[in-house]
Amino acid sequence: MQFECPKDNILFLRSYTERITFNGKRFMRLSIRVELVLILLLVLAKNALFAQLPTIVTSNVSGGTACAGATIPVSFVTSNLTTTNRLFIVQLSNAAGVFTNLTSIGTGTRSPIQVTLPASTLGGDYRLRVITDTTGVSYTPSAVFMMLKPPTAFLSGDTSINVGGTAQLSIAFTGNGPWTYTFTNTNTATTSLNPLKGLVQPTVSTTYTLQSVTNICGPGTVSGSARVTVFPRITTDFTATSLCAGAAVTVPFTVTGTFASPGVTYTAQLSNAAGSFLAPITLGSGTVSPLNVTLPTNLAAGNYQVRVIASSVATYVSSNAFTVKPLPTATLSGTTAVGIGDTTSLSIAFTGDAPWTYQLASGPATTTSTNPTKLVVNPTVTTNYSLMSVSNACGAGTVSGTATVTVVPKISVADVALGGVCVGTNISLPFLVTGTFTTPVTYTVQLSDVAGSFSTPRVLASGAGSPITVSIPTNVVAGTGYRLRVVASAAASSINSPAFTIRARPTAILSGSSTVNFGETASLTLNFTGENPWTFTLSDGSTATATKTPFTVNIIPTQTATYVVSSVRNVCGEGTTSGSAPVTVIPRLLTENPSTAICSGKDVEIKFTVGGVLSGTTGFQVQLSDSLGAFTNPVLIGTGTQSPIIASIPATTPVGGSYRIRVVATGGSAITLVPTNAFFLGRRPGAVLSGGGTTPLKPGEDVFLVIQFSGDGPWTYTLSDNTTGTTSISPALLTVAPQLPTTYTLKSVSNTCGTGNVSGSAFANVIITSIADLIKSGINFFPNPIAKQLNISISSTATTEWQLVDNQGRILKSNRWESRPTYEETVDTHSFPPGVYFMKVKINDRWFSTKMVKE
C-alpha cells in the first residue's frame, strides 16, 4: 500500500503559509521547515505499519491455459502470515477474470493445493486466487489464463443416393479446436473447421458413426450417426431401332448396385409414342435379365422407349428411342349413285406403312403405295363393295367400311355448247336420258353459280321431256363459269353442260364535274358494267367505244354545259345510263402576236380571238405591259368593238425590254386573258454619213466612209451610188474605190420600224489625169474616128452631163440626166463634116474632154 497525505492538510499548509507571509519572511521559512518534518514522520509511520500486513500471492497457471474438468496444482506464497494450523481456500473467478461470484474449487493447508476445474465451466479468461480464514490479509490472484473445453462431436447427414452418387456428412464440434476424430471404420483425421462437411460415395447402403474425438484437453464424447441409402440402377440394354406393333421382343438389362432385400421382381414398361413414361404400358415381368415380352398390336406409329423397373426402390435408365410401325388398317368409302354406264371411284384410306396389299370381297389381291387409293368401278347394277383383308410388312391388319354404288338413269346436257348467252335470252335446252325410269318423272333445268357449283342451284324451268325452253334471268351476275344441268323428280345422275358465259346488259354512269379554260381539255369518267366493248353517246353527240372501266373521256368544250350519257350498248344490246358531269368553261380572249415589228411612236394592228361565250361585254381595250411583261400598271393603247384594233405605241415608251400586249374585255364575267409573246420595242432609224476628204486620190484608190446609225439595228442603208448593205454595227466602216471624183451621200436607211432620216456626205477627191483614167472610170466614147454615129457608155454615178463641141467651141450635141449607175446613148453624126471634135463630160463639178475625129 502507498501512503498519501490528506488534501485538506495541504490546503491548510497553503493558507497557513499565506498568513506567515503576511507577518514576515523569516517566520515563514521556519514554519515551512516544521511542517516538512511532520509530514516525513507521518510517512515513515505509515510505511512501518504496511510492512507488517500479511499477504498471499497466487502463482500463475502453467502455460496460461487449463482444461475444464482437469486437476491442476495451485501454488502460492505467504508473507507476514503464520501458516500453522491454517486452512487455505482456492477460488475461481468468472470468465471475465473478476471475483464477483466466488467459486471455491479446493482447500489445503500448504502450497500447492490440488484442485479440479469445474467441467461445466464456460470458456473464457479466468484467474485463481488463494485466500485464508484470517482477516486483514492482502490477496494477489494469478494472471489470466484461458479455460479450455474438452471436445464433443455430433455426426449427421441421413440421405439417399443413386449408385455412383455422393452424399454429404456433417460433424458439429464443441470445445476448442483443432479436433481429431475417428469413425468406427478407423478412418481418422484432424480439422479446425466447424462444422466439418465431407463427401462419401458408398456403393451399398451404409450407416456412419464416430468412434472418438479429442482435442488439446483430451478425449471427448461423440454422438449422432448418418444413414446413406444407396439405390441400385437398372440400365435397359434394348438396342432395337424399328419394330412392328405386336412383335415379340427380348429386353436385356443390367443392375448396378445391390438391393437391400432379395427376391426383387423386374418389369418391362413401354412409353407412349412421344417417349414419355407418364402412363407407361406394362409389357411383362421376370426375376432375371432378359425379359421376353410382346408389344401391343394397337400401337400407333411413333418414337417409343423401353425401361425396366424393380419391385424395390431403384433408378432407371431407359433404352434409346425406337420407331414402332403400326399394323395396317384399311377403310373403304364411296357410297354414291351413278348413271347407267358411268364409272365412279371408291376410296380406300390406309394407316401403317406402305406398301399395302388389300383385297375386295370379290376381287384379286392388289398392292399399292398410294394413300388414299382410288378404285374405278363401273357397275351395271347396284352393288355393295367391302374389303376382305389388308396387310403390310408388319403383317395382317384390320379392315372396315363399305361402299354402295346405286345405278340410276343418267340425264346429260354434256353436248350442249352455249358459248355466250345474254341475260333475258330464251334457250331451247335439249337433253339425253340413258336408262329407264320406272315411274313418270318431271325434269327440271338448273343453273349453277358463277363458279359452276350447284350447291345452291337456280331453277330455270321444268318439263316432261326434252327440250325445255328456259330464259336466263336478267338479275344474274355476268360470269364465265356457269353451267346447266337437268335433274329428275326420281333418282338419277346428271351430267352438266360445258361452262358458258352469261353476259349482262350494259350500264354506264357518268361523273366528273370540272371547270376549265376555253380550249382546255375536261376529263369525264364513265363506269361500265356488263361485257365490253361498250359503245356510248354523250349529250353533245360525241360517240366512242370503250374496252375498259372506268373509262376517261376527254372533251374540249366551247361553252358551259352539263353532260349526260345519251345511250350505251354492248353485245347484249341497249343498256341503262345515269349520272351527269357539269363542265364550266371560262371564256378565253387570245391576243395574237403582231406580224410586224412594234416600235415606239408607231401604230400597230392588234388582232384577237374570243373563245367561248362572253356575257355582258361592251367593248375591248388594248393594253401594253411594262418592260418586264407585267400588267400590274398596264398602259391603254387602243380600244375597239371587234378585231383588229389599231393601237398606238406612245413615243415616250422606253425601247427594249420584254413588252407584251393584251386585249381585255370591258364588263362581263370571268375570262382568261392570253397576251402576246414577249417582244422587243424598237425605234425608227437614223444615219449620218461622213468620211472621205480633200486629199487627192488616184482612180480606184480606197476611201473610207463612216455611217453612224441611231435607232435599233440591224440597219439597211443605200448610198448615192446605189450601194446597199445591212449591218448591226454602229458606226459602220465602208470602203469604196471611186474612179472619178465622187461625193457620197445616203439615199435611205431602214430597220424593222421602217425608213428613217439620213444626212451627211463624204467627198472622194479623185484626180483624173488622162482619158485613160476616164475609161478606167467607166466612161467610153466610140468609135474614134467617128463614122455615122457615136456611142456613149457611162458607168459612173458621178457623171451627169456630156457635150459634143467642134473645134470652134460650139456645142453640137448635149444631154443631162439624174445620177444613175449606167448611162448609154447613140448620137447620129452622119451629117457632121469631117474634122476634129471634142467630147466633154461633167464629173461632179469638173469637166473633162477628149478629142474625137470625124472621117
Give residue 406's Cα distance to chain centre. Answer: 62
Superfamily for domain range 779-854? Macroglobulin (MG2) domain (2.60.40.1930)
Give me the pLDDT at residue 51, please.
52
User: Whole-angstrom distance between the N-terminal and C-terminal Cα of the chain?
Assistant: 201
Give me the pLDDT at residue 771, please.
58
Give me the pLDDT at residue 777, please.
64
Instruction: Name the burial class of residue 589, with classes exposed (0-12), middle (13-18) and buried (19+) by CB atoms within 10 angstroms of its CB.
Output: buried
Topology of domain 507-585, per CATH?
Immunoglobulin-like (2.60.40)
Exposure string of 679-715, with b = 16+ CB inside 10 Å and e = fewer, is bebbbbbbbbbbbbeeeebebeeebebbbebbbbbeb
Q: At 716, is the secondary structure helix, strand, or coil?
A: strand
- The DSSP secondary-structure symbol of 559 reads S
Does domain 587-681 fall under CATH 2.60.40.1930? My reply is yes
Give me the pLDDT at residue 73, please.
95
Domain with CATH 2.60.40.10 in the chain: 329-407, 507-585
Cell numbers at 836, concatenated: 476634129
The string of pLDDT tens digits covering residues 419-444 is 889 988 899 999 999 888 889 999 99
Using an 8 Å Cβ cutoff, are 76 and 56 in contact?
yes
Its CATH architecture, for the domain 55-140, is: Sandwich (2.60)
- Provide φ and ψ at 181, rounded to 5°: -125, 155
The string of pLDDT tens digits covering residues 190-222 is 999 999 999 998 988 899 999 999 998 989 999
Does domain 329-407 fall under CATH 1.10.10.10? My reply is no
Domain with CATH 2.70.50.70 in the chain: 409-503
Give me the pLDDT at residue 8, please.
38
Low-confidence residues of the chain: pLDDT under 50: 1-37, 43, 45-46, 48-50
Full strand arrangement of the beta sheet holding 103-108 = 103-108, 88-92, 128-132
The string of pLDDT tens digits covering residues 471-511 is 999 888 888 999 999 999 998 888 999 999 998 889 999 99
Cβ atoms within 10 Å, residue 58:
24
User: Which one of 3.40.30.10, 3.40.50.1580, 2.60.40.1930, 1.10.540.10 gives the CATH number of domain 232-325?
Assistant: 2.60.40.1930
Give me the pLDDT at residue 42, please.
55
Topology of domain 409-503, per CATH?
Coagulation Factor XIII; Chain A, domain 1 (2.70.50)
Give me the pLDDT at residue 279, please.
93
CATH code for the domain defined by 686-764? 2.20.130
Give me the pLDDT at residue 758, please.
92
Give me the pLDDT at residue 712, please.
84
Give the pTM: 0.38
Give me the pLDDT at residue 688, please.
94
Those residues whose C-beta lies under 8 Å from the C-beta of residue 98, and which sit 6 or more positions away, are none
Domain with CATH 2.60.40.1930 in the chain: 232-325, 587-681, 779-854
Instruction: Reduce the secondary structure of 308-345 to three states and give it as a string.
Output: EEECCCCEEECCCCEEEECCCEEEEECCEEEECCCCEE
- Using alpha carbons, list the distances in angstroms from residue 30 to 27, 192, 522: 5, 76, 149
Give me the pLDDT at residue 31, please.
38
Give me the pLDDT at residue 34, please.
40
Cell numbers at 75, concatenated: 501454488
Task: Tell me the one-letter amino acid at 189.
Answer: A
Cell numbers at 631, concatenated: 400588267
Give me the pLDDT at residue 654, please.
86
Using an 8 Å Cβ cutoff, are 593 and 676 in contact?
yes
The continuous run of DSSP H or E covering 395 comes out as strand 395-396
Exposure string of 288-318, with b = 16+ CB inside 10 Å and e = fewer, is ebbbebebeeebeebebbbbbbbeeebbeeb
Angle at the Cα of 516 from the Cα atoms of 511 and 522, rounded to 5 degrees: 40
User: 705 has which bridge partners?
Assistant: 691, 734
C-alpha span between 405 and 621 (Å, rounded): 98
- Using alpha carbons, list the distances in angstroms from residue 382 to 240, 339, 407, 679, 785: 50, 11, 5, 101, 149
Give me the pLDDT at residue 721, please.
81
DSSP per-residue letters across 423-492: TT-EEEE--EEES--SS---EEEEE--TTS--SSPEEEEEESSS-EEEE--TTSPPEEEE-EEEEESSS-
Cell numbers at 760, concatenated: 451627211
